[in-house]
């Protein structure tokens, strides 16, 4: 078990690892998980990679406008998500496909958001990758501005505490998010109130193109927890078991009423910040090559192979199954109609104000005369 301290910097910044690059666990560690769960971890990580792969192709072919690569950080997401219950709150960043997939959100429901169609939970009001779900987990809407989800997570967690619930809120964010006011405000309040929050900083090396050493002068990001009186740990983010254990302990600490934990997961995105980005212009090739040797899925495959749960043929079959599932989801979402005009006005007010009703009636009348406006052709519809 980990024994982190909020008063000993050496313990906070020491990297916690269980599964090494050879797929071997330290000190004979046994995760105590059945084979079915271990394989669910594996398939979830492969689903993330398949979702990434197909979304990149969709964006490059002009069928969706945007996507966020997750290549290389799959274990960080899956390990953390596996430690939480379905009745806990997730306040994710835009690089958290895996948390939703692990807990049973269907790929097709995620693809509906990528296309912004009529079945999109946001009804086309959000950008692609900005998922929001209430079932099977409480997955708060992703937002593009950095750090906004952090105070929201503290608010939800504190409300649950006031109601006497043992619910935990997970707030996930990148290293760039630590430079925001939201990070400071969230950790300040969570530390004072002892709110049941797990702050997960996914330190993937770059805040868009800004390297970590230019992002902060501190010794990593976990150490920042000391200033707020927040328990903190540094974890190997490419080690799914270390991520699971750190998040389990943080959640148990929060449920016991002891307060929040800041987890710094050291990982690396082996793709761009987004599909609008070319990482080759700012990430040295040797850095990418170095991290490719730490690929979290390769590492986990070696662990599974030692248990007789994986071989190359099973790996290829899983890859093919995941790609087929995501491909089918993309085709279904692409064939789904866009949201109807009335969705602009629905889900906003319980009772529509007179001025909004007047605007809506004018819009419907215009649509009746001129037909449905076609998006993306560059022509002003009026």
User: Looking at the predicted structure, is the pLDDT value of residue 139 above 60?
Assistant: yes
Average pLDDT, the chain: 93
> Is 119 part of the annotated catalytic residue set?
no
Q: Among 273, 307, 355, 369, which one carries the catalytic annotation?
A: 273
SS (H, E, C) 343-359: HHCCCCCCCCCHHHHHH
Tell me which of 65-79, 147-161, 167-181, 361-375 is least confident: 361-375
3-state secondary structure of 337: coil
pLDDT of residue 324: 98
Rounded CA separation 97/111 (Å): 11
Task: Report pLDDT for 382.
Answer: 34
The catalytic position among 269, 307, 349, 355 is: 269
Domains of the chain by residue range: 9-334, 340-382
Nearest CA to 115 out of 96, 131, 137 is that of: 131
Above 60 in pLDDT, residue 379? Answer: no
Active-site hit among 63, 282, 307, 355: 282
pLDDT at 342: 85
Would you state the structure tokens that stand for residue 362, as one six-digit string? 């004018």
Q: Which residues pair with 91 in a beta bridge?
A: 171
Question: What was the pLDDT predicted at 369?
Answer: 87
What's residue 341's pLDDT? 87
pLDDT computed for residue 159 by the predictor: 97
Is residue 282 flagged as an active site residue?
yes
Q: Where are the alpha helices (DSSP H) in 145-295?
A: 149-162, 181-193, 212-215, 225-228, 240-255, 285-292
Question: How many residues are there in the chain?
Answer: 382
Q: What is the CATH superfamily name and number for domain 9-334? A: Thiamin diphosphate (ThDP)-binding fold, Pyr/PP domains (3.40.50.970)
pLDDT the model gives residue 2: 53
Rounded to an integer, what distance in angstroms lies between the CA atom of residue 146 and that of residue 296? Answer: 26
- Reported as a single tens digit per residue, the pLDDT across 268-322 is 999 999 999 999 999 999 999 999 999 999 999 999 999 999 999 999 999 999 9
């Amino acid at each position: 078990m980990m024994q982190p301290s909020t008063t000993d910097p050496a313990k906070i910044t020491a990297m916690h690892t269980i599964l090494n690059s050879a797929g071997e666990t330290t000190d004979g560690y046994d995760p105590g998980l059945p084979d079915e769960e271990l394989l669910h971890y594996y398939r979830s990580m492969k689903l993330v990679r398949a979702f990434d792969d197909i979304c990149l192709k969709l964006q490059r072919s002009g069928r969706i406008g945007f996507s966020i690569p997750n290549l290389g950080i799959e274990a960080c997401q899956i390990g953390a998500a596996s430690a939480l219950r379905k009745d806990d709150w997730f306040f994710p960043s835009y690089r958290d496909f895996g948390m939703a997939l692990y807990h049973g959100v269907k790929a097709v429901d995620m693809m509906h958001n990528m296309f912004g169609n009529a079945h999109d939970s946001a009804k086309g009001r959000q950008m692609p990758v900005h998922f929001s779900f209430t079932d099977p987990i409480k997955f708060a809407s992703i937002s593009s501005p950095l750090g906004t989800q952090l105070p929201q997570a503290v608010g939800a967690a504190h409300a649950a505490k006031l109601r006497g619930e043992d619910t935990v809120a997970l707030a996930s964010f990148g290293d760039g998010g630590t430079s925001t006011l939201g990070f400071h405000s969230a950790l300040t309040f969570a530390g004072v109130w002892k709110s049941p929050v797990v702050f997960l900083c996914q330190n993937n090396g770059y805040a868009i193109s800004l390297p970590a050493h230019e992002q902060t002068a501190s010794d990593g990001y976990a150490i920042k927890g000391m200033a707020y009186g927040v328990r903190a740990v540094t974890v190997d983010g490419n080690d799914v078991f270390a991520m699971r254990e750190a998040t389990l302990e943080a959640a148990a600490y929060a449920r016991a009423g002891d307060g929040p934990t800041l987890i710094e997961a050291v990982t690396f995105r082996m793709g761009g910040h987004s599909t609008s980005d070319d990482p080759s212009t700012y990430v040295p090739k040797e850095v990418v090559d170095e991290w490719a040797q730490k690929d979290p899925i390769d590492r986990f495959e070696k662990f599974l192979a030692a248990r007789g749960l994986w071989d190359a043929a099973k790996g290829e079959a899983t890859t093919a199954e995941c790609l087929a599932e995501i491909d089918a989801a993309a085709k279904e979402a692409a064939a789904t109609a866009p949201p109807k005009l009335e969705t602009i006005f629905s889900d906003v007010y319980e009772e529509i104000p007179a001025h909004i009703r007047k605007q809506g009636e004018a819009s419907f009348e215009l649509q009746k005369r001129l037909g449905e406006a076609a998006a993306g052709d560059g022509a002003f519809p009026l």
